[in-house]
Amino acid sequence: MKWFEVQAAADGRHADVWINDQIGIDWWSGDGTTASAFINAIASLGDVEALTVHINSPGGDVADGIAIANYLRGHKAQVTTRVEGIAASIAATIAMGGDRREMATGSLLMIHDPWTVAMGNATEMRKLADDLDTIRNGILELFVARAGEPRRVEIQEAMRAETWMTGEDAMALGLIDAVETDIKAAASIGDYSRALAAAGRSAQQHLDHQKTPDKMPPAPSAMSAADALALAFDIEPDQAEARAAELGDQILAWRDKPATSPAPDTAALQREAVAAERERVVAIIDTCTTTGQHQLMAKLVSSDMQTDTAREYVFDVAAASSTGVHSSHSPEGGQRAGIDTQGIYARRRARSAS
């Protein structure tokens, strides 16, 4: 599956490129293509005079993204990059490759420091931190090259804080040249949006199971007092009629006795169900984000797995992942998990027994 499309205009002097998904090879599914395929596709256009790159991407592979950004910067054509949905993480770096940089009204740009999930000893972890600093500095230079040296500290702080920007915000920081109101913002198709959509469906299902039915059951046909008493006390109607006064007193006594089980508050139950589902989804997203296991979000959110069980599952997958710096720099980043299924369930059984 390609994450880009290239199309030349009829006159052969202008071409459009669309980046509409995660950049590079998807480490989890193995889908996608490399930066080399992207560069070769543009090179095959020949000597075009103008190149417009339309971006709607959650990010992707760091090395591929930097290679594409520098290729666009050095291209002989007049290159315009347009953010038409989101340009997050390394996709924001690609947006810096244009001679002119634009954002559609309503689109978003996100910059942040690179991160990873890894295991190792103290020496390995210190080296990993140094490697991440080196990667961050390289990305920082691409932003500073567009915004200008006086903006270095401001951009560095924005990266450290993980900052989402509107077109106006990005223009104020010097990263883009214009906000184009005639460009329609496109929707992102990243894993986050899929996870949140699944969360919405899950919460709605909980509500649907608890809603008051639109049609109430038909009212029972009228019955005599004797019939009602007979039904209540499981006796014959003639017996109920003979003992009407006595049975009536018993019913009045029951009526006046304080209720021990009040009728459930349906609205409150609905609110509690929605709040509980929201907390479960937020906990799953937070755990997946913290451990870098974003590929598990949609699966866990759409399941009925409870919070503690989901967290344990995510931590087990993260622990089974191989060590190293992830080249993925996107919110959907991470590293392919080498999952030891037997080991995971053995640890669960051991914890349950303790």
In three-state secondary structure terms, 85 is strand
Q: Which position has the token pair 């937070």?
A: 286
What tokens does 347 get? 């640890």
- Rounded to whole angstroms, the Cα distance separating 18 from 32 reads 14
Q: Which residues are catalytic?
A: 89, 112
What 8-state DSSP symbol labels residue 94? Answer: H
Angle at 227 between CA 224 and CA 228, to 5 degrees: 90
Question: How many whole angstroms separate alpha carbon 180 and alpha carbon 54?
Answer: 13
DSSP bridge partners of 321? 337
Residues 6 or more apart whose Cβ sits within 8 Å of residue 84:
54, 55, 56, 104, 107, 183, 184, 185, 186
In whole angstroms, give the CA distance from residue 233 to residue 66: 83
- CA 193 vs CA 129, 132, 135, 204: distances in Å: 30, 27, 27, 16
How far apart (Å, rounded) are the C-alpha atoms in residues 122 and 128? 10
